[in-house]
Amino acid sequence: MKPFLPFEVIAAVRFLLDGRRQTLLTVIGAAVGVSVILFMTSLLHGVQSNIFNRVLSTQAHIVISPPEEVSRPLRAEDGPREMATVQKPAQRLRSIDQWQAISARLLSRPDVTAVSPAAAGAAFAVKGDVANPVTLNGILPDAFYRIIDLREKIVHGSADLAPGGILIGTALASDLGLGIGEKIRIRTNRSSTAGGDQTFTIDGIFDLGNKDANERSVYVPLRSAQSLLNLPGGITSLSVDISDPYAAETVADELRSALGVNAESWVKTFEQVFTALSTQSVANYTIQFFVAVAVALGISSVLVVSVVQRSREIGILRAMGASRGRILRIFLTQGASIGFLGSLAGSILGIFFVLLWRTFARNPDGTEFFPVTMEPSLFIRTILAATVTGVITALLPALSAARLNPVDAIRG
């Protein structure tokens, strides 16, 4: 009757149990290394997700606007060519040409998830004799909320922007002493003579987490903004979200070339933030690499000692007919076993570290600094990587064992 386990596995387990102290210390070392990698990866992922969500909670991945106006020197057709200093003209508030066709073209791309038109410009929020400068944003709520979900930012009232309604920030509401259901006038110097200014009813008050934004930003229905800004049927920008936010600059370059418009990605708008995120990732990968190297060297050194200690047994096995390949597989199995057991123990230890962080790392009000979780896929990848690392680091000791001469090994 054949044994249930292959001979290589039985011999590898026997060798590991005979040197159980060395095996235990090696497994513990591997577990600590794996737990550090898991915890740091989860922590960094939490930090980056928190920063990323804060940045993009009020910012589209790509913003499309009309191309900038340029000045050209004037001269007679047959006159002499003269050097001229041409100043950049002040940029007028203009609409994107054929924006409906551009929007449809964008939505036909598989990497585009949402497109929202907007008409934005400078205005004044007026109550009595007080006039605060604001940025007027005309939006289509259903499209806009798919990119920037103001519904999550509302602290009073509702984000259901009705005709004649307006959403204002907490700071502006405080400055003007306004509340839900009260009236506010919006006035622009671009308003048509027929429209003048308009009075809106406050439907909701939001908090974007930024005092300046809460003081300067107001949102009204798109048609109202078009009337106030004297842009009948026009828009000043298209906000675009894509499936991979980190590819925003590449997609923006494609849109600039294909559509002949300005396309600015969040990567350029928040270049310092993007650089910081990239630097964090590089630092994390560097630390992971050196931790993995330390774990690999620990496994390899223990197996080298095991080869020296087990040289007589290896010689006997070779004399009994064990092939070099079988000896090789015994030590490769030992390396894989140590890596696998260390990764399992390290995963449990990593979860423990995460739970400690979530318990003690909190804000003064008791809330978490930021969410830190461990994805199941991270465990699977780590276990596979640790097992493969164990096999690779066992390769040199295994080759050394397989090359032992049986007679010399038995003689010691």
Provide φ and ψ at 102, rounded to 5°. Answer: -65, -40
- Hey, what amino acid is at 162? A
Average pLDDT over residues 70-98: 59
Q: Which tops the pLDDT comparison, 52 or 161?
A: 161
Q: What is the pTM of this model?
A: 0.69
What pLDDT is attached to residue 337? 86
Copy the structure tokens of residue 286.
């560097």
d(CA 155, CA 174): 13
d(CA 393, CA 388): 9
Average pLDDT over residues 157-176: 91
Closest alpha carbon to 307 in 203, 397, 184: 397
Torsion angle, alpha carbons of 321, 327, 333, 335, to 10:
160
Provide φ and ψ at 333, rounded to 5°. Answer: -65, -40
Out of 80-84, 289-293, 352-356, pick the least confident: 80-84
Count the neighbouring beta carbons within 10 Å of the beta carbon of residue 77: 4
The answer, yes or no, to whether residue 90 has pLDDT greater than 50, is: no
Confidence of residue 239 (pLDDT cuts 50, 70, 90): very high
Count the neighbouring beta carbons within 10 Å of the beta carbon of residue 205: 22
The answer, yes or no, to whether residue 81 has pLDDT greater than 60, is: no
What pLDDT is attached to residue 69? 59
Q: Which residue has the tokens 């038995």?
A: 410
Cβ atoms of 204 and 159 closer than 8 Å? yes
Mark out the alpha helices in 59-145 (DSSP H runs). 99-107, 141-144
The DSSP bridge partners found for residue 130 are 127
DSSP conformation class of 169:
E
Confidence of residue 84 (pLDDT cuts 50, 70, 90): low
What pLDDT is attached to residue 1? 41
Provide φ and ψ at 242, rounded to 5°. Answer: -125, 165
Provide φ and ψ at 258, rounded to 5°. Answer: -80, -35
Copy the structure tokens of residue 410.
């038995």
The answer, yes or no, to whether residue 73 has pLDDT greater than 70, is: no
Question: pLDDT tens digits for 315-327?
Answer: 777 777 777 788 7
Closest alpha carbon to 393 in 26, 38, 46: 26
Estimate the share of the chain in helix, then strand, then coil, as percent rounded to the nearest 5. Answer: 55, 15, 30
d(CA 253, CA 185): 40
